[in-house]
Amino acid sequence: MKVTFNQVGEFIDELEKDAGKVERNLVRCTKLFEPSRLSPTIRLVSIFSTYSVAGQVITLTRYCGDIWGINREKDNEVIAKADAYLKSIEKACKHLKLEVRAGMLEE
């Protein structure tokens, strides 16, 4: 079974409730850059975070914006937004004494 979130705050709330039961005390987090269907030069930026509790995978996927490659300032804002989301998850994990590693946990 899999539980999915798309809001960082809801994911962190769930993580806090599960803190003592997180398998291996490990949370995986990464930034995803996926091609857009609109144009091959546009990249969709999201963050992805997962952990496992009692064989159940808890997942966060949060869209952060698009990188077009024509306005560096706007592209940097999207990256900064993704980094801020990841930092908030890392801060919560540190408080809960959970280890954060790169990558994605899949069923």
How is residue 5 written in tokens? Answer: 């979130």
Task: With cut-offs at 50, 70 and 90, classify the pLDDT of residue 1.
Answer: confident
- Place 18 in a pLDDT band, splitting at 50, 70 and 90: very high
Which residues fall within 8 angstroms of residue 98, CB to CB, at 6 or more apart?
A: 15, 19, 22, 25, 26, 27, 51
Contact status, residue 28 vs residue 102, Cβ threshold 8 Å:
yes
> What CA–CA distance (Å, rounded) separates 51 from 42?
29
Q: How many residues does the chain have?
A: 107
DSSP bridge pairs for 91: none
**pLDDT by residue (tens digit) across 36-94?**
998 889 999 999 999 999 999 999 999 999 999 999 999 999 999 999 999 999 999 99
Q: Which CATH class is domain 2-99?
A: alpha beta
